[in-house]
Chains A and B, each alone.
Chain A
Amino acid sequence: DIQLTQSPSFLSASVGDRVTITCRASQGISSYLAWYQQKPGKAPKLLIYAASTLQSGVPSRFSGSGSGTEFTLTISSLQPEDFATYYCQQLNSYAFTFGPGTKVDIK
């Protein structure tokens, strides 16, 4: 299986901050990477697919980049509703593994 790591695992930030989360794959996955946002008690919500394509309806302050083994999710100006846990997922090969998550908390 392809393993994904995320850094940091926990991030404390303030409203208006620029936030960057990194996801690294144990082998190349081209651009088959998605990012999800999950709030407590809720299902994950798709933010970014194909590494850099914004899902319809997702605010433009979210952006994704990268290919191969290193990817980033950037929130350009953190809003109160963005405090959540963020997961990356590779879809290059089975078993479609997820990263361990990055929790973004209020500073």
Chain B
Amino acid sequence: QVQLQESGPGLVKPSQTLSLTCTVSGGSISSGDYYWSWIRQPPGKGLEWIGYIYYSGSTYYNPSLKSRVTISVDTSKNQFSLKLSSVTAADTAVYYCARVPVMITFGGVIVHDAFDIWGQGTMVTVSS
């Protein structure tokens, strides 16, 4: 059974870089069947997709965060990571990682149906 677990500092100072890692267990991150995603949820608010990565390193980011986000993958450790630079209090949130199954249409386009497995989430507070 595949499980995802987020880890990283719970407190980050304003203007610094937030760094989190998601460790995948029970399955290989190098499977070509999935993308690996980050999502966040500010306290009491809704969900926001941050971006995702394929095992090959191919990434897609939310345009609203693209200038500050880097997602990377380490297949040897079965992990993927998030870096968010120049953080402010608005980046305070629970950060989740999730698995995103890949489907390929007859036209060769990659599509997705859902985020099917999620980590438990980790709270990150931006404060001096």
Q: Does A46 contact B (CB under 8 A)?
A: yes
B113 touching A34 by the CB < 8 A rule? yes
B49 touching A46 by the CB < 8 A rule? no
Nearest residue (CB) in B for A98 is: B47
A97 touching B116 by the CB < 8 A rule? no
Chain A nearest CB from B95 CB (Å) reads: 11
Chain B residues near A87 (CB-CB < 8 A): 46-47
* Count of B interface residues, CB-CB < 8 Å: 19
Q: Does B64 contact A (CB under 8 A)?
A: yes
A32–B105 Cα distance when bound, in Å, is 13
* Count of A interface residues, CB-CB < 8 Å: 24
Q: Does A45 contact B (CB under 8 A)?
A: yes
A55–B116 Cα distance when bound, in Å, is 9
A46 touching B47 by the CB < 8 A rule? no
Chain A residues near B118 (CB-CB < 8 A): 43-45
B96 touching A43 by the CB < 8 A rule? yes
Near B by CB (< 8 A), chain A positions 36-53 give: 36, 42-46, 49-50, 53
Cβ-defined partner of B49 (8 Å) among A42, A96, A100: A96
- A-B contact number at CB 8 A: 56
A36–B113 Cα distance when bound, in Å, is 12
Near A by CB (< 8 A), chain B positions 103-127 give: 111-116, 118-121
0 or 1 for each of A49-87: is its CB under 8 Å from B? (1 = yes) = 110010100000000000000000000000000000001
Nearest residue (CB) in A for B49 is: A96
Cβ-defined partner of A100 (8 Å) among B46, B63, B64: B46
Nearest residue (CB) in B for A94 is: B60
A49–B113 Cα distance when bound, in Å, is 6
Chain B residues near A49 (CB-CB < 8 A): 113-114, 116
A42–B119 Cα distance when bound, in Å, is 9
Chain A residues near B48 (CB-CB < 8 A): 98
A-B contact pairs, 20 of them (CB 8 A): A32-B111, A34-B113, A34-B115, A36-B115, A43-B96, A43-B120, A44-B47, A44-B118, A46-B114, A50-B113, A89-B115, A91-B113, A94-B63, A95-B62, A95-B63, A95-B64, A96-B49, A98-B46, A98-B48, A100-B46
- Interfacial residues, chain B to chain A (CB-CB below 8 A): 46-49, 60, 62-64, 96, 111-116, 118-121
